[in-house]
Structure 1
Amino acid sequence: MSDEGTALPPAQKSSWGSFLKSLASFSGDLSGLTAPSFILAPFSLTEFPSYWGEPKDFFAAIADGKTAEERHLLVTRWFLSTLSGQFTRREKETGSEKKPFNPFLGEQFLGSWDNGELVLHVEQVSHHPPITAYHLENKKKGIVYEGNCAQKTSFSARQISVKQVGHGLLRVKLPSGETETYLITLPKLKIEGLWTGRPYVELTETSYIQASHGLTSTIKYSGAGWVSGTSHSHSTTVTSGAGGPTLYTLTGTWTGETKYAKPSRDGKEGQVFFDASSDAMRTRVDVKPVEEQNEFESRRAWKAVADGIRSGDYDSASQAKSALENAERQRRKDEQARGETFQLRLFDKRPNDPEYKQLAHALKFKPEEEDSWVLKTSAA
């Protein structure tokens, strides 16, 4: 790593030091802490579900699997292939990790790929706690991925720890008319490099993919330690049920090559499962021009803030950010005064989703109580 502060503009080093001090003294969830504009990314957290759709060909290929085992491997490949875009792109493009805007209640992000063959709907369905709901659908292939995500963030041991709360359910409609479902849990992450001025993300602990046909993918994440280890590493096992016999082991990095390792069926040991470093694997989402977006769409709502960040005019970015956030606070106060409750426009809440509970139970650990959100028929 480089010397402290070398990734920061000279004029911002003092502000960065003040921000680190505020981190160290802050108690509770860091989502409530205001970050200085120069460490913000010029987009909102509502854009993050677009990373699920960027490996669009991998997503579409899931429906082409001939057997449950083959489809399970294709789901696992797609999920792993989304991680590099989600967690290392901003570092590569800007020199360090940047914090996205905290979405306002009802904020939307709408996009598509391949002239609408793959479509994404996103809405901020809760502000306290902050929860983002998403629905990604390829109607031609009969594949839907919908879910929700929130973050619980804390500071300790010179790093920021982020627990991603939520889950996704991927459904594949089979030629027989039956539907196969996959529960996808989310990895935890830590943001390191704060004291060098070059924040970056490393994934930690374990996430799972549990299929309705019984197969389970267990993904264990690890990084570089003081003595050994490789950044962005994972070891993934595919088993016949949680704790069952291992069918495949996949090892590598979620930013580079992942290969089959022993045990592996069909003599695939050493073969490349996929290569996440290939830029051709990912295609960015298409979004309507800002002037054609509705007032709740993310890029229109945050345009003045994003323009200030991109131009380096952090004062104007901060002023525009404060104006938007103050206007949202006033809307909530006005609703409360009228005895009204905010109504979501794109999603409906599904409390205690039985499908989620059934698949989570198959993982043989007690999951947190989680609600689900489903896309309204009128929004599809």
Structure 2
Amino acid sequence: MFKKSAPPSPTISGQTPTQGSPASTPASRSSSPAPAAITKDAEKLPDGKTPDDSSKLRTFLSILKRFIGVTDIAAVRFSLPAQLLEPIPNLEYWHYIDRPETFVAIGDSEDALGRMLGCLRFWFTKDLKYVHGKPCKPYNSTLGEFFRCQWEVEDSAESLRGEESKPNLQQTVAAPQGATTKNKPVKVSYLTEQTSHHPPVSAYWVDCPDKGISACGYDQLSAKFTGTSVKVTPGHYNQGIFVTLHRREDEQYQLTHPAAFLGGFLRGNLYVSVADTCFVTCPKTGIKVILHYLEEGYFGRTQNKVEGVVYKCDVTKDKTTRIKDVSDKDVLGRIDGSWIDKVWFSYGSTEFKKVPEKDKVLLIDVNPLLPIGKICPPMEDQLRNESQRFWQGVSESIGAKRFTEATNRKTELEERQRERAAERKAQQKEWEPRFFTQVTEDNGKPQLTGEGKQVMQALHEDKWHLEEPAEYGAI
């Protein structure tokens, strides 16, 4: 299970310990801890009684069986009873900033390979919710729903290679502009909006002006139930995470997502595994990484192993997809380890298992790392279509174990969304996002509207007030 709040975090790759959350939170803000993990998903019981794990799993499995043969059950967006859900909105749950200090340090190295290693360190910390917790089913997002938050974290993750540079680009931390942010608090702001309901797509934007780094992308999943597991793959519009280093002439990294599997139905213990190939690329530096995740080991035992190769190439033209097809002369180094344990890096083309232990570099040890709590607007400063407030009634009912009431409230919200969609269709009116310029972008990179940019700036200045939107999608 996830813990309700993160303690001071241990060392990252042998570096100085970092606080898991600010020592004191300003009174104008509320801290949102990492979500508790749902174990399986539950069956209907009288209010006030909590179903046990086995009964949850039976009901969840009986629902999934209806979708055997369905190409994409994520697009169906079927509604589950409230007792099968974790009381957290989807937009709040799905983000990749479990450890903000690894994100803000990506561009610190003056060495191109060092920056790629920083990017990989961030990659292996983005899904800690699956390392330390159980699979979770949050609420389905509604059209126009949005979520915003920020993190405050010490800039303590050191460069993995090359000279380190941590200039303070804004005078918003405990150091003058132009001075160093090293071991100083920096802010990371986050904004996401559900831009489409059919298919379900949300756009997100991450920004740390103090460090001159941002990230964006679309969250869209495709899911298929095979009878023994659910295979989850990126949807058409989900082309990965795009990280941009603005102080390095907008050097950009694209990190694509591998397929994941929700398994353990037959054994009665749900778990997430990964078995696919994904890529991290940077056209400007000409460095590409192929990561290969291995799901099963000998005798079908899950090993959660990952191996990879880092190499030089013309990224825009290179079509290599297999580690063994990379020429030794182009290899800069190799990756090996377990994504739920320790991941290592070795320099050069030598097979990792043949590299002496003293020459292996610890990229990341995720064992002691817990997700860091988010800082969210107070409920009174949230709009009605802001995730936490939108689902507040449902969450309160689930928390009080009033499951029938929670399901009824959830159904009312979903019905209003259908009514609003019917009204727009009758008026031949297309939905327009508020904070992003398009429902989707062909290149997978969402763009902020002027209002979206203002929201990001206000977050960084601890300002929460927002005007009501011109139109609600589900209210």
Pairwise same-fold verdict (TM > 0.5)? yes
| Alignment check: 8 A CA contact 1:63 1:71 kept | yes
| Alignment check: 8 A CA contact 1:53 1:285 kept | no
Q: 1:304 to 1:198 in 2, by over 3 A?
A: farther
**Equivalence for 1:172:** 245
Q: 1:8 to 1:98 in 2, by over 3 A?
A: farther
Higher mean displacement: 340-349 or 39-48:
39-48
**Equivalence for 1:110:** 148
Between structures 1 and 2, the one with greater helix share: 1
1:198 shift after superposition: 2.7
**Equivalence for 2:72:** 29
CA distance in 1, matches of 2:433, 2:275: 33
| Alignment check: 8 A CA contact 1:208 1:217 kept | yes
| Alignment check: 8 A CA contact 1:41 1:100 kept | yes
User: After superposition, what is the alpha-carbon deviation per residue over 1:248-272, rounded to whole angstroms, capped at 9, x for unaligned?
Assistant: 1121111211122464799863332
1:237 shift after superposition: 1.6
Higher mean displacement: 128-137 or 7-16:
7-16
Q: 1:15 to 1:140 in 2, by over 3 A?
A: same
1:143 shift after superposition: 0.4
1:140 shift after superposition: 1.1
**Residue of 101, 122, 137 corresponding to 2:139:** 101
CA distance in 2, matches of 1:375, 1:28: 32
**Equivalence for 1:150:** 220
**Residue of 194, 199, 222 corresponding to 2:265:** 194
CA distance in 2, matches of 1:283, 1:214: 33
User: 1:221 is matched by which residue type in structure 2?
Assistant: Y
- Is the aligned partner of 1:83 residue 2:127? yes
Equivalent runs, 1:131-150 vs 2, <5 Å: 131-150=201-220
1:199 shift after superposition: 1.9
**Equivalence for 1:365:** none
User: After superposition, what is the alpha-carbon deviation per residue over 1:62-105, rounded to whole angstroms, capped at 9, x for unaligned?
Assistant: 121111111111011111111223x34441xxxxx221221111
**Residue of 114, 127, 130 corresponding to 2:197:** 127
| Alignment check: 8 A CA contact 2:312 2:331 kept | yes
1:309 shift after superposition: 2.8
Matched residue of 1:128: which SS? coil
- Is the aligned partner of 1:276 residue 2:366? yes
**Equivalence for 2:113:** 69
1:277 shift after superposition: 1.5
CA distance in 1, matches of 2:55, 2:364: 42
- Is the aligned partner of 1:223 residue 2:295? yes
**Residue of 387, 391, 408 corresponding to 1:298:** 387
Matched residue of 1:235: which SS? strand
**Equivalence for 1:326:** 415
**Equivalence for 1:47:** 92
CA distance in 2, matches of 1:230, 1:108: 36
| Alignment check: 8 A CA contact 2:434 2:451 kept | no
| Alignment check: 8 A CA contact 1:235 1:250 kept | yes
Matched residue of 2:107: which SS? helix
| Cα RMSD for the two superposed structures | 2.6
1:340 shift after superposition: 2.1
1:12 shift after superposition: 4.7
1:312 shift after superposition: 2.9
CA distance in 2, matches of 1:12, 1:48: 21
Unaligned runs of 5+ in 2: 1-41, 43-50, 153-184, 319-325, 454-475
Higher mean displacement: 181-190 or 217-226:
217-226
CA distance in 2, matches of 1:79, 1:314: 37
**Residue of 385, 400, 408 corresponding to 1:311:** 400
**Equivalence for 1:247:** 332
**Residue of 420, 434, 443 corresponding to 1:345:** 434
Count of matched residue pairs: 347
TM-score, structure 1 as length reference: 0.83
Q: 1:277 to 1:98 in 2, by over 3 A?
A: same
CA distance in 2, matches of 1:198, 1:49: 22
CA distance in 2, matches of 1:180, 1:216: 14
| Alignment check: 8 A CA contact 2:98 2:127 kept | no
Q: 1:276 to 1:67 in 2, by over 3 A?
A: same
CA distance in 2, matches of 1:116, 1:378: 23
1:14 shift after superposition: 5.7
**Seq. identity, %:** 23
User: 1:22 is matched by which residue type in structure 2?
Assistant: R
CA distance in 2, matches of 1:8, 1:225: 31
Higher mean displacement: 31-40 or 130-139:
31-40
1:190 shift after superposition: 0.8
Higher mean displacement: 59-68 or 237-246:
237-246
User: After superposition, what is the alpha-carbon deviation per residue over 1:286-336, rounded to whole angstroms, capped at 9, x for unaligned?
Assistant: 111223211111111111222233333321221111111001111111122
Runs of 4+ in 1 over 4 A off after TM superposition: 9-14, 264-268
| Alignment check: 8 A CA contact 2:228 2:265 kept | yes
CA distance in 2, matches of 1:197, 1:298: 31
1:338 shift after superposition: 2.6
- Is the aligned partner of 1:210 residue 2:281? yes
CA distance in 2, matches of 1:122, 1:65: 29
Q: 1:139 to 1:314 in 2, by over 3 A?
A: same
1:11 shift after superposition: 5.8
